[in-house]
Structure 1
Amino acid sequence: MIYAHSLADKPASEWETLEAHALQVAAAARARAEPFGAGELAEVLGLLHDLGKIKAGFQRKLSGEINDTAHSGEGAKVLWGGAARPLAAAIAGHHGRLPDPDRLRVRIAAAEAVTLPKWCRLPDWEWPARLREDKSLGSYRLQFLVRMLFGALCDADDRETAAFYAGIPDRSPGVVTEAMCAAFDVHMAGIGGEGSVNDLRRRVLSHGRDVASETPGLFTLTVPTGGGKTLTSLGFGLDHALAHGLRRLIYVIPYTSIIEQTVDVFRRVLGTDAVLEHHSNADWDGEDEAEAEQRRVSGASWDVPVVVTTAVQFFESLHAARKKRCRKLPSLARSVIVLDEAQTMPLPLLRPCLAALRELMEGYGASVVLSTATQPALTKAGGFPAGEALEGAREIAPEPAALFAALKRVEVRDVGSMDDAALANRLRAERRALCIVDNRMQARALFDAVRDADGAAHLSTLMVPAHRRAVLAEVRARLRQGAPVRLVSTSLIEAGVDVDFPVVLRAAAGIDSVAQAAGRCNREGRLDRGLVEVFRSEHPAPPAVEQFAAIGRAVLAEGHEDPIGEDAVASYFRRLWGEYGEDALDAAEVHGVRGLLAAIARTPGACPYEQVEAAFRIIPGGERTVIVLDGPWGVGSNALEAARFGSAGSVAKLVQSHAVNVPWAMWSSMWEAGQIAWWAPDWFEEQFAVLQTSDLYDAEAGLSGVGEGAWVV
């Protein structure tokens, strides 16, 4: 008898046979790949993935012998010499990551030639016809398919393995249901509110739900800030999914710092179990060949009806090699994907991002919604300069131009240069004002300058989520009461944070950023006009921000009737695309080749998966997470210690609201200074870094910046 998994202190009669495991994984992988028409290919992977466990050395390993017998190369070797060769990477990497071609060849050479057992009957299969339809896209489409199939295999293998050891069968994936749409109707019926703004929001929602019956594909939701985009996109997504048999709603938000607000809204509408919050604070990396580690560290599969995630998690997963990120990808097929604040997609990686969105729509039955007040002209009709331009967009909102006219609630002024002293005086002079700047150092300095003023508050990504939530709750309460509020924030507040100030001061930036800042001003239309003052700071902005600001100033000088209206925004993006050019929109370098798309195109059937993953970084250098202990905003030491013998996932959930994501340069400086250390490395290895002194976390302003790059937004 050949076994796949053993049980300590149990007789072999209770172990799992390789035949049973392979057949179960094959069926589960097939089910995960059926929504995108690749069920037979996934079944092939499932049948072959653990073929190497047939080897006598591995069977002795299951019986307790200590040896280094590997098992993932043999199944890959079966595919290596035939038409399915590109899929060999998925089997070879199913315990870790899709390997680069050189590493894969080494694995194949080291693997043994194994005869297929009688139960391993491979189904007839063929590549999807669309891989051959456009030879110029063949390489891109193939590597995308391999990554999706890799995700299906890894998720099926991990779940079936865990089910054997836990004795609990895998649960059915969650999908959008009629009951969820009914719950949305009940929620909306309970929202009252008089006035023109609320009437307009209801009209936008009603029109959006009418559009939901249109065929899947590309949609835009162009609504001025405060016009009800969040609930409209939720209503559209639920209705659209139900109308066309789409499975779930994936809601992509630009920043971790404001994800909680959307999750809270969705859970109030649909219930806690229907909504998954998944981002870097809850996604701790762990990778090990050992079966025990595979069971202990399990990533989310996004198989719930509604997923709220970040752009970093979403787009980096679409270009990932690691199984932990790829296992969620099959859940994107036949889903509604809403990109909130779509203008924030990273410009140096914009073309690969658009290529992935096109592939999801054209090959995997997904619908994509670009939701923003400042549509970034990503379509061919809108003048996007590269071949990845999106096509066929349908607008969800009724007459966006009329909406912008109806919701014009602010006056935008260019007030020239202002140093920090002048800004501090300006904040003190206003009873309620918001000041937004583009680096954390200036934000902290301005807050320190007005800290003693009534209602002074600070927001930055160097504050843990629990702290940010408390600050926003206090700010909103004071605004409702008419009490003084002087809030200094980085640009994180612009991405959909629901606050309403009469005066907003914004450091010079792109027109899209100015428009988003204006969305925090007179949001509810209680004033005839709010005031947005755009100033030039004494502090040099990051180079990219300065480029955006220069283009923004040029657009403001054009004299548009509404300097943040549709015409101004369109002019801004036309200038931006003209200044950037195609090459700068796919600027990452992969092993000496400029551009991810070029690197993928030059290696048909042999994608450098690991190099692509390393190159596709929305935040250059990446970020690391630091856990804050005790104090008003840290996780309690006793609670953390009690979690020591639990799973990594349970620890991640415990510390999620008490952790800060910091730039790699800052993290390195703190490590060298002994200000952070690994927590419980004997159990979790190097996963959880804990701040060693509370002196570095200010109860009002968050973590102190340390090291080069610490203060960049």
Structure 2
Amino acid sequence: QDGGEEFYFMHQALYSALIAADKIDASNTMLPHEKYTNFSSMMAAKDNKFKGSKNNLNDIRNSIFNDVQKSIVEYAGKRMFSITSPTGTGKTYTGFFAALKLSQMLGGNKKIIYCLPFTSIIDQNFSSLRELLQTIDSFNKQESQYIIKHHNLSNIDYKSLDTEYKNTQAEILIENWDSGIIVTTFVQLLETLIGSRNRMLKKFHAFRNSIILLDEVQSIDIEYLKLVDNVLLNAVKYLNCRIILMTATKPLILPQATELIPDCKYYFSKLSRTKLMPVLKKMDTETFMEKFYDKIKDKSCLIICNTIGESLDIYNKFKTTGREIYYLSTNLLPIHRSKRIEHIKERLSSKAKIVLVSTQVVEAGVDIDFDMVIRDIAPLDSIIQSAGRCNRNGRLQEKGLVYIVTLIDNKGSYYANHVYGTTLVNLTMSLLSTKSQIIEEEYYDLINRYYTEVNNLKNQDLSLKLIDSMKNLRFSTDSDSNFIGLDKFSLIKNNPDYVDVFFRIDDTAENIYQQFLNMLSEKNHQRQREMYLQIKNKFREYTISIPQKYYKKFEFNKFNNTGILNLPYEGCRDYYNEETGFKRDASEDFMFF
């Protein structure tokens, strides 16, 4: 009864070690030797990569990097740190090398757990770190001993010098975080630290003595901030972790962390890449087109919408103008989305004046740079992230304009309220309404005012109930009691009105689908799992979530009580467009998930 967090962490660490060992033993998996890179060799690789890169922005990035290196040496005895710097100032390498230096100061061989909010950013940052590690002799033969990425879409492959692992064994090692560097999601981090699912808890013991990097932590739902703050503080205390928090919009979490940039406000004042231009009068999409079409002539422009219905409406209006225009949202199959992003990058690098209409999928982590950004109203932290897609590399002679508009649907309601509710949107509009423009040098103070207000507004009751359940080891929810068990904690909000559908849109997809059916009919469980892991990621490349109302349009194959909704090739021609994705009813509006 109320044993406190110490008993929770003790229980979870012991239970984690038990179930991890059980899985390893039952699968006859040989444990690999984790490999740890050293600071000096990685610095040499970094310096070689960036030699000759000279401009004002790179000078600022180098200055921030050097400030952090000096501070981490000075404050190595501390346990919690923060790096607060503007978007586009090189936090990936700055944070990683801070962790490497800290590991060196603490005696070396510390597991580095690099956590990010979105899988798109994970792939990008993983590639950046992997590029440095490839300078190590024999790295390619033992890559996974040095670094792995772990999220629900990552490949199941463990490369080791000594052992060739089957897919099922590789899955165990990846899920146990058996590597020197882990690049993963907030979901994997927090649903392991807070939760009751065996699959997550297997790696709880891996946190001990580790260095945890948290990048873009503002993406965590504000109602969980008190809970996350509590669990991170106790991970430091009971698992001997070190934590480095990195963000351009630092929320009110771990306020006692030591800031590694002594005068972080200075760097916000040094950058003059963008300015926010609030246009807060309600307008529908027709009025929006009339007001903004001329403003974006001769400019590359990113328009970020809040819902899929809104984005499709604006895209279709722009299509009639003759501009080179592209569309991006989760309405597109992942395989088409990734190809579209690469093509957009190529067009921007050739200085094409394209227009991209998108949902929030481009808000953080997608490294693109437009002359202008137009963002439908959203919470302020989302707006600041959107501004990071405008004049990102400081190439324009004048500040890039980031217009904030307030678009409404045909019922007169803000599209933003469908996604974010009213509290944060109203607060943001209140803060933005005081000025006709806000330059980048003022973002730092604006963000701080925003989070101060948020802290006063947001209900933390759910966090407090989950903290109480941690203290009392309440892992499951009892319907007869008023407490909430840890089994109810989830960073991902499930929408019961949406279902996953596989699109058999081409020969490759059809081949994957047939492999899936063969896998389902396999009687041997071990063999079935191997077959599933071989096609898992390829399968998801052709899968999107759609509203349940379309259920009857799809075939359903069922083997051993398992199945998948799917659309055959003939149906894809009727219900899928490679430009905009799944064809929805024009009269309806859809939230972005």
Normalised by the shorter chain, which TM-score bucket? Answer: 0.7 to 0.9
Give the Cα separation in 1 of the matches to 2:314 and 2:466: 40
Q: Deviations over 1:383-436 (max 9, x none)?
A: xxxxxxx25312223521111011121121112333212434535743310111
1:694/1:329 CA distance change after superposition, 3 Å: farther
Report matched runs for 1:267-282 at 5 Å: 267-271=130-134, 273=144, 274-282=146-154
| Residue 158 of structure 1 pairs with residue 23 of structure 2 | yes
Counterpart of 1:461 in structure 2 is 330
Deviation at 1:654, TM superposition (A): 3.5
| Residue 211 of structure 1 pairs with residue 71 of structure 2 | yes
Q: Deviations over 1:208-245 (max 9, x none)?
A: 23333313521111111111111211222222223323
SS in 2 for 1:230: helix
| Residue 612 of structure 1 pairs with residue 485 of structure 2 | yes
Deviation at 1:621, TM superposition (A): 2.5
Q: Does the 8 Å contact 1:240/1:246 carry over to 2? A: no
Number of matched residues?
534
1:209/1:667 CA distance change after superposition, 3 Å: farther
Aligned-pair Cα RMSD in Å: 3.3
Q: Does the 8 Å contact 2:275/2:399 carry over to 1? A: yes
| Residue 148 of structure 1 pairs with residue 13 of structure 2 | yes
Q: Does the 8 Å contact 1:350/1:586 carry over to 2? A: no
Deviation at 1:598, TM superposition (A): 3.2
Report matched runs for 1:227-242 at 5 Å: 227-242=89-104
Counterpart of 1:447 in structure 2 is 315
1:296/1:277 CA distance change after superposition, 3 Å: closer
Q: Deviations over 1:665-684 (max 9, x none)?
A: x46445x42526457x44xx
Q: Does the 8 Å contact 2:216/2:247 carry over to 1? A: yes
SS in 2 for 1:148: helix
Counterpart of 2:387 in structure 1 is 518
SS in 2 for 1:636: helix
Report matched runs for 1:121-200 at 5 Å: 138-163=3-28, 169-172=30-33, 174-178=34-38, 182-191=41-50, 192-200=52-60
Give the Cα separation in 2 of the matches to 1:705 and 1:595: 40
Deviation at 1:458, TM superposition (A): 1.8
| Residue 350 of structure 1 pairs with residue 225 of structure 2 | yes
Counterpart of 1:595 in structure 2 is 465
Query: Which residue, 362, 365, 368 being the options, matches 1:493?
Result: 362
Give the Cα separation in 2 of the matches to 1:697 and 1:613: 40
Counterpart of 1:12 in structure 2 is none
SS in 1 for 2:175: coil
Query: Which residue, 213, 216, 228 being the options, matches 1:338?
Result: 213
Q: Deviations over 1:327-379 (max 9, x none)?
A: 1222222222222111111112222222211121111121222211111132x
Counterpart of 1:47 in structure 2 is none
Give the Cα separation in 1 of the matches to 2:576 and 2:423: 33
Residues 263-272 or 522-531, more deviating: 263-272
Counterpart of 1:423 in structure 2 is 288
Q: Does the 8 Å contact 1:258/1:492 carry over to 2? A: no
Q: Does the 8 Å contact 1:208/1:396 carry over to 2? A: yes
Structure 1 length-normalised TM? 0.68
| Residue 364 of structure 1 pairs with residue 226 of structure 2 | no
1:567/1:451 CA distance change after superposition, 3 Å: same
Deviation at 1:607, TM superposition (A): 4.4
Give the Cα separation in 1 of the matches to 2:391 and 2:319: 24
Q: Deviations over 1:678-706 (max 9, x none)?
A: 57x44xx6376655542444312234569
Give the Cα separation in 1 of the matches to 2:589 and 2:79: 40
Q: One-letter code of the match for 2:79?
A: G
Give the Cα separation in 1 of the matches to 2:69 and 2:540: 34
1:283/1:322 CA distance change after superposition, 3 Å: farther
Give the Cα separation in 1 of the matches to 2:386 and 2:86: 12
Give the Cα separation in 2 of the matches to 1:207 and 1:521: 26
Counterpart of 1:537 in structure 2 is 407
Give the Cα separation in 1 of the matches to 2:434 and 2:124: 36
SS in 2 for 1:308: strand
| Residue 655 of structure 1 pairs with residue 539 of structure 2 | yes
Give the Cα separation in 1 of the matches to 2:335 and 2:104: 35
Report matched runs for 1:14-413 at 5 Å: 138-163=3-28, 169-172=30-33, 174-178=34-38, 182-191=41-50, 192-213=52-73, 214-244=76-106, 245=108, 247-271=110-134, 273=144, 274-282=146-154, 298=172, 300-378=175-253, 390-413=254-277
| Residue 571 of structure 1 pairs with residue 449 of structure 2 | yes
Residues 412-421 or 500-509, more deviating: 412-421
Q: Does the 8 Å contact 2:331/2:581 carry over to 1? A: yes
1:605/1:418 CA distance change after superposition, 3 Å: closer
| Residue 481 of structure 1 pairs with residue 350 of structure 2 | yes
1:628/1:549 CA distance change after superposition, 3 Å: same
Q: One-letter code of the match for 1:160?
A: D
Residues 536-545 or 432-441, more deviating: 536-545
Q: One-letter code of the match for 1:506?
A: R
1:595/1:263 CA distance change after superposition, 3 Å: same
Give the Cα separation in 1 of the matches to 2:11 and 2:57: 48
Q: Percent identity?
A: 23
Q: Deviations over 1:8-61 (max 9, x none)?
A: xxxxxxxxxxxxxxxxxxxxxxxxxxxxxxxxxxxxxxxxxxxxxxxxxxxxxx
Q: One-letter code of the match for 1:565?
A: Y
1:687/1:642 CA distance change after superposition, 3 Å: closer
Q: Does the 8 Å contact 1:499/1:520 carry over to 2? A: yes
Give the Cα separation in 2 of the matches to 1:689 and 1:334: 44
Query: Which residue, 316, 321, 341 being the options, matches 1:472?
Result: 341
Q: Deviations over 1:146-201 (max 9, x none)?
A: 223222111111111111xxxx53223x24322x7514531332223221001111
1:493/1:256 CA distance change after superposition, 3 Å: same
- For the pair shown, which has the larger CA radius of gyration, 1 or 2? 1
Q: Does the 8 Å contact 1:250/1:307 carry over to 2? A: yes
Q: Deviations over 1:634-670 (max 9, x none)?
A: 953324545735343223243354444x3xxx46445
Give the Cα separation in 1 of the matches to 2:11 and 2:69: 35
Give the Cα separation in 2 of the matches to 1:520 and 1:491: 12
Give the Cα separation in 1 of the matches to 2:509 and 2:16: 36
Give the Cα separation in 2 of the matches to 1:595 and 1:678: 41
Give the Cα separation in 2 of the matches to 1:369 and 1:669: 44
Give the structure, 1 or 2, with the largest relative contact order (CA under 8 Å, sep 6 or more).
2
Q: One-letter code of the match for 1:395?
A: E
Give the Cα separation in 1 of the matches to 2:193 and 2:567: 32
Q: Does the 8 Å contact 1:296/1:647 carry over to 2? A: no
Long gaps (5+) in structure 2: 135-142, 157-166, 479-483, 520-527
SS in 2 for 1:182: helix
Q: One-letter code of the match for 2:30?
A: P
1:433/1:638 CA distance change after superposition, 3 Å: same
Q: Does the 8 Å contact 1:254/1:495 carry over to 2? A: no
Q: Does the 8 Å contact 2:116/2:185 carry over to 1? A: yes
| Residue 549 of structure 1 pairs with residue 416 of structure 2 | no
Residues 636-645 or 202-211, more deviating: 636-645
Q: Does the 8 Å contact 2:117/2:215 carry over to 1? A: yes
Q: One-letter code of the match for 2:210?
A: S
Q: Does the 8 Å contact 1:296/1:648 carry over to 2? A: no
Long gaps (5+) in structure 1: 1-134, 285-292, 379-389, 589-593
Q: Does the 8 Å contact 1:319/1:612 carry over to 2? A: no
